[in-house]
Amino acid sequence: MRFHSIAAAPGEGAALREQMSKLFVDPPVLDERADLVPVLSYTGGVPGTWVTAPEVVAGEAVGGAGVTVYVHGGGFSQSEPALEEVMALRLSQATGRPVFRVDYRLAPEHPYPAAVEDVVAVHRSLVEQGVPAGRILMVGESAGATLALSALLVLAEAGDALPAGAVSVSPVTDFAVAGVHAGDGRDVMTPETMAVIAEHYLAGAPPDQAPQSPVYGDFRGTPPLLVAVGADELLLDDARRLARAVADAGAEVTLDVYEDMPHAFHTAVLLAEGAWPPVARTFLGRLAEWVRRLDCRRIM
Q: Is 109 a catalytic residue?
A: no
Return the pLDDT at 299.
58
pTM above 0.85, yes or no: yes
Q: Are strands 99-102 and 48-51 parallel, antiparallel or unpaired?
A: antiparallel
Specify the DSSP element, H or E, that contains 153: helix 143-158
Tens digit of each residue's pLDDT, the chain (300 residues): 999 999 998 889 888 888 888 787 888 899 999 999 999 989 999 999 999 999 998 766 676 789 999 999 999 999 999 999 999 999 999 999 999 999 999 999 999 999 999 999 999 999 999 999 999 999 999 999 999 999 999 999 999 999 999 999 999 999 997 544 555 556 777 888 899 999 999 999 999 999 999 999 999 999 999 999 999 999 999 999 999 999 999 999 999 999 999 999 999 999 988 889 999 999 999 999 999 999 988 654
Of 142, 150, 168, 170, the active-site residue reads: 142
CATH number assigned to the domain comprising residue 126: 3.40.50.1820
Give the 3-state secondary structure of residue 166. strand
Q: Is 199 a catalytic residue?
A: no
Q: How many CB atoms lie within 10 A of CB 273?
A: 11
Of 85, 117, 141, 233, the active-site residue reads: 233
Residue 27 belongs to what domain range?
Answer: 2-299
Report the domain count for the chain.
1
Q: Is 233 a catalytic residue?
A: yes
12-21 vs 278-299: helix crossing angle, rounded to 10: 100
Return the pLDDT at 182.
57
Of 72, 123, 181, 263, the active-site residue reads: 263
Kindly report whether the peptide bond that precedes residue 211 is cis, defined as omega within 30 degrees of 0.
yes
